Structure 1
Amino acid sequence: MDKVTLAKDILKLVGGSENVQGVTHCATRLRFRVSQSDKVKKGELEQHPDILKVVESSGQLQVVIGSHVSDVYQEIERQGQFNDDHSVGKSEQKQTILSKVFALISGSLTPLIPAFAGAGLMKALLIVLENLHILTPESGTYAVLAAAGNAVFYFLPILLGVTIARVLGANPYVAGAIGAALLEPNFTALREAGNVVSFIGIPVPLLDYASSIFPIFIAVSLFAFIERNLKKVIHKNIQIFAVPFLSILITVPLTTMLVGPFGVYLGTWLGDLVNYLINSSHIVSGIIIGGSWSFLVLFGLHWAMVPIILENLKSGSDLIVPLAAASVAAQMGIALGVFLKTKDKDMKALSGSTFLSAILSGITEPILYGIILRHRKTMIYMVVAGAIGGALIAIFNVKLVVFNFFLNVFTFPAQSPMILYILGIVITIVIAAVLPIIFGYELKHQQKKEDNATNKELETNESIMSPLSGQVKALQQVGDVVFSSEAMGKGIAIEPSQGEVVAPVDGVISVTMESGHAVGMISKKGAEILIHVGIDTVKLDGKYFTCLVNQGDDVKQGQPLIKFELDKIIEAGFQTTTPIVITNSDQYEHIDAVVPVEEQIQKNEDLLNLKKKS
């Protein structure tokens, strides 16, 4: 599906642009803050064929769609006519303080992911070039590249000021100016000179705010509170200059005297606490982090660890990321193991492509949502392999020396010692790959389905794919005796979740209706298929239906045949249960459903197996 249509679908299902307070994105998911959660059609979002998963966590609705998320995000911004400062009123949902804190951290950090990733790779490249003696720190080339890699982290208070303010609904550029004040050369020179400074007689602690995280979070939260209240008391005609002036006048001194130092100390305390726990039992920490990290990713909570990781790097190195990388490697290994184990063509294509993508990009959500959550037996393998890998990396005492939050082949130099880190990752991938190969990756009823699929070519003459997405129904459940009695032929029915019918096979259109509610076709192998959308929908006289083909057209499997407005048909009082009938059933020995009744199916998945009479 193209990004325009996907963005339109998502906006509609989250309750429309008027229900969106804010939207950001990370590497694979859209992150919505909605005003009213009951307006979100979560079930329909989860059933959408281009959406991997829907997660509600930390006050956010997270829609996982994959690595093309940035293109869809831009289209959603355009269609919703949002801007950088949009805030559509206060949410009616009650959130805990902890949920609000997590939402603020993740919503502020995720827009900076591309900058982090690019700068992190640049710093890793410099390490490689220096170790190969291609560049030295004294050269001009090294200095230019180092500036490119260091700038994002040095000026992080400015960038974070902008993103934090957007989440809080404050002016992002004033917030950026507050962050810049902490890095202003005349102010930083006072610390470097060792001067004692006061502001209106109050001592000002001179600390290093470069690359800091917590001071700007607290400072901008204070600024947002001040700005909001100033707007209540200052006349609208002078707000444009009075509010920013007073906000800066109040916030910057308070930040340098109180908020900033508290933020620095808070970051140091949290980092020391986490590192103390890790160092107290490095191996146990490796087992816990390596085995459980993917569950943080599952709910989008892993970004809350970024401030601590960055604070650790200010002191030289971090222990968290290498241990967490074991969990990511375990997901990669499961994809590889499923690829080697499965005989199902679709699963082989999915597992192979997601493994390759993960190795190159470090993005494993498609593996997590597309394979591991679908085949939950593999979740055990992920925990076991991740825990073993985390313990190994802990034993090897691997540390992150330059920031990078993605595990891929290009970020190996960010870890030290690199060779031992690579060894730990490779062992983890191998363990995770071997487990599904030996023990399988499906539960018994899933394995039976795959075994049937493996032998499908021997048992059947033709496979009919699903023309719709929705819930499978027995033909006898259809509220029309013509279909339920099998007078028209044997088959199956689907309760649709989306308003599109696609061709279930390659073939020729044999029947179209002026009302657009039904279509018949003949497959290349001779199956005569009737798809009838809804019960008595002929009475609508074509309203809410658009037929996209004509009688005699050659069509390919998966090609759209009919578009229909599902919600409006239901509102008009009609049942939308759709029979899919083989009208020449007498020519077949068996017409068997692949998917059990009441289970969900997506269009283009196997629906019926046909075996002709000999």
Structure 2
Amino acid sequence: MKNQNKETMLAKTLDIISGSFTPIIGLLAGAGLLKAFLSVLTMLGWLSPGDGTYIVLSAAGNAVFHFLPVFLGVSTAIKLGVSGYVGGAVGASLFTPDIVHLVEGGVESIDFLGMPVLLNNYSSTVFPIFIAMFVYAGLERLLKKIIYKDIQMFINPMISLLVLVPLTLLVFGPVGTIFGEGLASIIDSLSSRSGLLAGAVLGSAWTFLNILGLHWTIVPIALANLATGPDPIIAMAAAAPFAQVGIGAAVFLKTRDTDLKALSASGVVPGALAGTTDAISYGIILRFRRTMIYVAIAGAIGGAINGSMGIVMNTFVLPSMLSIPAFTPIWLYIIGVSTACIIGFLLTFIFGFENKSEKKNENGLLFGVKPETITSPMQGKVVPLHTMNEPLFSTEMVGKGVAIEPDSGQVFSPVDGVVTTLFPTGHAIGITSKDGAEILVYIGTDTIQLKGKYFTQHVKQGDSVKQGDLLIEFNLDELKAAGYQLTTPVVITNTNEYQEVESLKHDSVDSKSKLLKLTV
């Protein structure tokens, strides 16, 4: 029980960290891209640091990083269910003019009620505000119990600021800074001992961390590095999205299926230009499992090159063609990520990504794709895929099918077959039927962030199952209370192997209802 509690606490902590970054990651990436663009203009001699234009654009790019504790104070407080305004105020307290002037003047400490306050530059820091917000969440729950309800609106914020601001400057700031610098030094030490090995591991694993939503938990370490200098972590991991772009490009050129060609194109363009590779990760790599090997190999080789060459990121960006100027040495970085892209492309183009003529399930049995009928994996109301808010499913990038608004928290096997994909978080499962259909059941939107909370798995990857076997249970009421949308897509990920995927129901279903008809 103790180990289980530890795992639950770790999962909750990682969820809060990743959930705090999710709302602002686009802003961070956009600002980082602006800073990279400004670096290009400076290198070309079109602007110089003394120019007014440079100063204005620099302010636009630097503001979010300089005041990062303010933004994280807001998003982390909201994630923890407390006031984002109080969270932002605590973060802003680190940047009040009086304190900033003292730090810039070289003052190392001041006195607070007889206790020394060590002054520091908290620009771009991450961990101090995380610690402060965890404490704030507990304090707010306590205040709501002991403060009279009618005066909580102003008394609770007053007490919170009165407690948290001194604690942040006295304790959380120094401790968080030491913790962040310690993690950064560990990464730097591993990189310096064997940048090749560190880059290979990170480059090969990054795609799968991304798919599981765990990559956001590494971002704070990268930002801690950037607070004191350049960062090697994202530079090594950058090989992975470029490898995915290469795989997507090869699929685009190799496939004759128009839907798959459209999917790969829709993944390659944003992946190459903006670093967002979700369409490739979920639509191609999870769908054609042979490409998992390709992306791991290509990412490992590119990451090893970047790690062994000491390449670093100078401002936070999502790795893409447009953000190349954010990395140095720039030409070595181009060699590393281009190598990953080319290897991913060649492996996919030469060895292929699927074999339609013959397939094997996890038990080693051969089967071909045959016409079949898929039963519903759950009880609920059938809705069209295009009504979903998630574009990967609403645009049928992952495959054709339907969505179900569940009435109960149970997922049953829709076919006789084998469990071929099972997310550790329990929110999604892939089954290959004995007749060759590859079915993905993906419970809800953003439920991956829960890291398995409220989900119970009754099977494991590789298990043979019969139609109607219980696969997963989830707590429907708790998930709804937590604000999660539970519309569940049921899609055929190898849609391109069928002439037609037809919905047989347009109203309510249970686990015995016939849901989809597959025609070859």
Same fold (TM over 0.5): yes
| Cα drift, residue 247 of structure 1 | 1.0
Residue 136 of structure 1 is matched in structure 2 by 48
Alpha-carbon distance in 1 for matches of 2:359, 2:265: 19
| 1:398 partnered with 2:315 | no
Which residue, out of 208, 224, 227, partners 2:137?
Answer: 224
Residue 99 of structure 1 is matched in structure 2 by 11
Tell me the alpha carbon deviations over residues 5-42 of structure 1, each in whole angstroms, 9 at most, x when there is no partner. xxxxxxxxxxxxxxxxxxxxxxxxxxxxxxxxxxxxxx
| Cα drift, residue 306 of structure 1 | 1.1
Residue 204 of structure 1 is matched in structure 2 by 117
Residue 565 of structure 1 is matched in structure 2 by 507
| 1:322 partnered with 2:322 | no
Alpha-carbon distance in 2 for matches of 1:258, 1:323: 33
Which residue, out of 253, 258, 261, partners 1:340?
Answer: 253
| 1:169 partnered with 2:49 | no
Alignment of 1:381-530 (within 5 A): 381-404=294-317, 406-443=318-355, 493-495=373-375, 499=382
Runs of at least 4 residues off by over 4 Å? 443-448, 471-474, 557-563
Residue 250 of structure 1 is matched in structure 2 by 163
Give the letter for the 2:250 counterpart: G
| Cα drift, residue 561 of structure 1 | 9.8
Alpha-carbon distance in 2 for matches of 1:252, 1:279: 37
Distance change (3 Å), C-alpha of 1:430 and 1:232: same
Alpha-carbon distance in 2 for matches of 1:433, 1:317: 30
Give the letter for the 1:132 counterpart: L
The more displaced of 429-438 and 120-129 is 429-438
Q: Runs of 5+ in structure 2 lacking a partner?
A: 361-368, 386-498
Alpha-carbon distance in 1 for matches of 2:73, 2:357: 52
Alpha-carbon distance in 2 for matches of 1:501, 1:323: 41
Residue 272 of structure 1 is matched in structure 2 by 185
| 1:352 partnered with 2:265 | yes
Residue 475 of structure 2 is matched in structure 1 by none
Alpha-carbon distance in 2 for matches of 1:231, 1:472: 61
Alpha-carbon distance in 1 for matches of 2:153, 2:268: 52
Give the letter for the 1:149 counterpart: G
SS of alignment partner, residue 166 of structure 1: helix
Alpha-carbon distance in 1 for matches of 2:262, 2:500: 18
Residue 303 of structure 1 is matched in structure 2 by 216
Residue 522 of structure 1 is matched in structure 2 by none
| Cα drift, residue 399 of structure 1 | 1.1
Give the letter for the 1:176 counterpart: G
Check conservation: 2:67, 2:124, Cα contact below 8 A. Answer: yes
SS of alignment partner, residue 190 of structure 1: helix
| Cα drift, residue 296 of structure 1 | 0.8
Check conservation: 2:500, 2:519, Cα contact below 8 A. Answer: no
Which residue, out of 132, 138, 146, partners 1:233?
Answer: 146
Distance change (3 Å), C-alpha of 1:373 and 1:194: same
- Report the structure number with the largest CA radius of gyration: 1
Tell me the alpha carbon deviations over residues 114-143 of structure 1, each in whole angstroms, 9 at most, x when there is no partner. 210221111011100100000000111111
Tell me the alpha carbon deviations over residues 155-176 of structure 1, each in whole angstroms, 9 at most, x when there is no partner. 1111111111111111110111
| Cα drift, residue 343 of structure 1 | 3.1
Distance change (3 Å), C-alpha of 1:167 and 1:500: closer
Alpha-carbon distance in 1 for matches of 2:84, 2:384: 46
Alpha-carbon distance in 1 for matches of 2:7, 2:293: 32
RMSD: 2.8
Alpha-carbon distance in 2 for matches of 1:162, 1:559: 45
Q: Runs of 5+ in structure 1 lacking a partner?
A: 1-58, 60-92, 449-470, 475-492, 503-556, 579-600, 609-614
Which residue, out of 122, 125, 129, partners 2:37?
Answer: 125
Which residue, out of 151, 154, 176, partners 2:63?
Answer: 151
| 1:576 partnered with 2:488 | no
Distance change (3 Å), C-alpha of 1:138 and 1:162: same
Give the letter for the 1:99 counterpart: A
Check conservation: 1:375, 1:443, Cα contact below 8 A. Answer: no
Tell me the alpha carbon deviations over residues 47-98 of structure 1, each in whole angstroms, 9 at most, x when there is no partner. xxxxxxxxxxxx9xxxxxxxxxxxxxxxxxxxxxxxxxxxxxxxxx996121
SS of alignment partner, residue 359 of structure 1: helix
SS of alignment partner, residue 116 of structure 2: strand
Give the letter for the 1:188 counterpart: V
| Cα drift, residue 558 of structure 1 | 9.3
Alpha-carbon distance in 2 for matches of 1:416, 1:251: 39
Check conservation: 1:501, 1:561, Cα contact below 8 A. Answer: no
| Cα drift, residue 559 of structure 1 | 13
Give the letter for the 1:198 counterpart: D
Give the letter for the 1:276 counterpart: S
Alpha-carbon distance in 2 for matches of 1:232, 1:361: 47
Tell me the alpha carbon deviations over residues 454-495 of structure 1, each in whole angstroms, 9 at most, x when there is no partner. xxxxxxxxxxxxxxxxx9986xxxxxxxxxxxxxxxxxx453
Determine what percentage of the aligned residue pairs are the same residue: 44
Alpha-carbon distance in 2 for matches of 1:559, 1:324: 38
Residue 292 of structure 2 is matched in structure 1 by 379
Tell me the alpha carbon deviations over residues 382-409 of structure 1, each in whole angstroms, 9 at most, x when there is no partner. 11111111112223322101111x1222
Check conservation: 2:505, 2:514, Cα contact below 8 A. Answer: no
Alpha-carbon distance in 1 for matches of 2:131, 2:188: 23
Check conservation: 2:504, 2:514, Cα contact below 8 A. Answer: no
Alpha-carbon distance in 1 for matches of 2:359, 2:255: 10
Distance change (3 Å), C-alpha of 1:235 and 1:359: same
Distance change (3 Å), C-alpha of 1:447 and 1:130: farther
Check conservation: 1:473, 1:495, Cα contact below 8 A. Answer: no
SS of alignment partner, residue 96 of structure 1: helix
Alpha-carbon distance in 2 for matches of 1:131, 1:345: 43
SS of alignment partner, residue 46 of structure 2: coil
Check conservation: 1:157, 1:216, Cα contact below 8 A. Answer: yes
